[in-house]
């Protein structure tokens, strides 16, 4: 399907979405967020796709919500239209794994969308920040909550209160990104990781994602109970039988997503 603000491509069993508003550093306009939701819906519905990579350009993953588009909106405008919740949260609600491949600026809503993904691979030139305070507002797409869970109170508070950016090395040290890779191999590396995930059993991958996400939403005891029930339920799948049989027969498993 042709889009105006993103490019959506199938790379084998991986869906690649590239944010594509280069003149505005991929500022996240309503139209762009709408297209992103449509592309995610399409990849979620496509049985051939096992994982999704979300990336931007070499200069910017995304420089935040579109400031020019929102600057004159009133309280009633943003409240009534459920700004952010309607649309943006689609990323966080994906059931298939979504990997953010971040080069350049991931600021404000850009940082927040990256954090809605399941993990972040960063290029060496990546810069993360929540500069909303310098605009007279505060993060509105989960930044104060997700950044704090990723990097702890002290660093999150400093970043949200000052708007200071964090480079890739600091982001890796702080646990915001899973790995830093050379700029030129970012998308290739993200596709490789996504393809590895897409080659596993899709239902078990989704259960694993659900279980890890639960760690952010509940107590340790409840989280462990949730994990245990999912673990037990994998024994009702053909893929668990295939995976363990293949190991015992010293061959690669042939998962059927059943």
Cα–Cα distance between 21 and 28 in angstroms, integer? 9
Interaction of residue 15 with ligand CAA, rule CB under 6 A: no
- The residues carrying an active-site annotation are 65, 109, 112, 132
CB of 171 to ligand CAA, least distance (A): 16
**Helices then strands, each counted (H, E), the chain:** 12, 10
- Which lies closer to ligand CAA via its Cβ, residue 5 or residue 96? 5
How many other C-beta atoms can be found within 10 angstroms of the C-beta atom of residue 255? 21
Task: Find the angle CA(67)-CA(70)-CA(74) to the nearest 5 degrees.
Answer: 145
Can you give the three-state secondary structure of 88-132, one letter per residue?
HCCCCCCCCCEEEEECCEEECHHHHHHHHCCEEEEECCCEEECHH
- Which lies closer to ligand CAA via its Cβ, residue 17 or residue 24? 24
CB of 106 to ligand CAA, least distance (A): 10
- Which lies closer to ligand CAA via its Cβ, residue 127 or residue 155? 127
Interaction of residue 136 with ligand CAA, rule CB under 6 A: no
Interaction of residue 67 with ligand CAA, rule CB under 6 A: yes
How many other C-beta atoms can be found within 10 angstroms of the C-beta atom of residue 170? 15
Cα–Cα distance between 87 and 35 in angstroms, integer? 9
Among 15, 50, 56, 64, binds ligand CAA (CB under 6 A): 64
CB of 21 to ligand CAA, least distance (A): 9
SS3 201: coil
Among 8, 17, 19, 25, binds ligand CAA (CB under 6 A): 25
Among 66, 118, 189, 239, binds ligand CAA (CB under 6 A): 66
Among 14, 16, 17, 24, binds ligand CAA (CB under 6 A): 24
Edge to edge, the sheet with strand 60-62 lists: 60-62, 105-107, 127-129, 166-167
Residues that bind ligand CAA (CB under 6 A): 24-25, 27, 63-68, 84, 105, 107-109, 112, 131-132, 135, 139-141, 143
């Amino acid at each position: 399907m042709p889009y105006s603000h993103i490019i959506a491509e199938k790379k084998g069993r991986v869906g690649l979405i590239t944010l594509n508003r280069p003149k505005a550093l991929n500022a996240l306009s309503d139209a762009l967020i709408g297209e992103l939701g449509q592309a995610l819906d399409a990849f979620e519905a496509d049985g051939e796709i096992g994982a999704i990579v979300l990336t931007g350009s070499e200069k910017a993953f995304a420089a935040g919500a579109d400031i020019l588009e929102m600057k004159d909106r009133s309280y009633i405008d943003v409240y009534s239209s459920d700004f952010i919740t309607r649309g943006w949260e689609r990323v966080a609600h994906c059931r298939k794994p979504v990997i953010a491949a971040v080069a350049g600026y991931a600021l404000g809503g850009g940082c927040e969308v990256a954090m809605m993904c399941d993990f972040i691979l960063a290029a060496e030139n990546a810069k993360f920040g929540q500069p909303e305070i310098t605009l007279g507002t505060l993060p509105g797409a989960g930044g104060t909550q997700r950044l704090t869970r990723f990097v702890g109170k002290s660093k999150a508070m400093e970043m949200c209160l000052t708007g200071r950016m964090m480079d890739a090395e600091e982001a890796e040290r702080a646990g915001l990104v899973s790995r830093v890779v050379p700029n030129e191999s970012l998308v290739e590396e993200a596709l490789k990781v996504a393809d590895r995930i897409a080659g596993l059993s899709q239902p078990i991958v989704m259960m694993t994602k659900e279980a890890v996400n639960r760690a952010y939403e509940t107590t340790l005891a409840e989280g462990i109970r949730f994990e245990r029930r999912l673990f037990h339920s994998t024994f009702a799948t053909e893929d668990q039988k295939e995976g363990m049989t293949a190991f015992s027969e010293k061959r690669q498993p042939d998962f059927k997503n059943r």
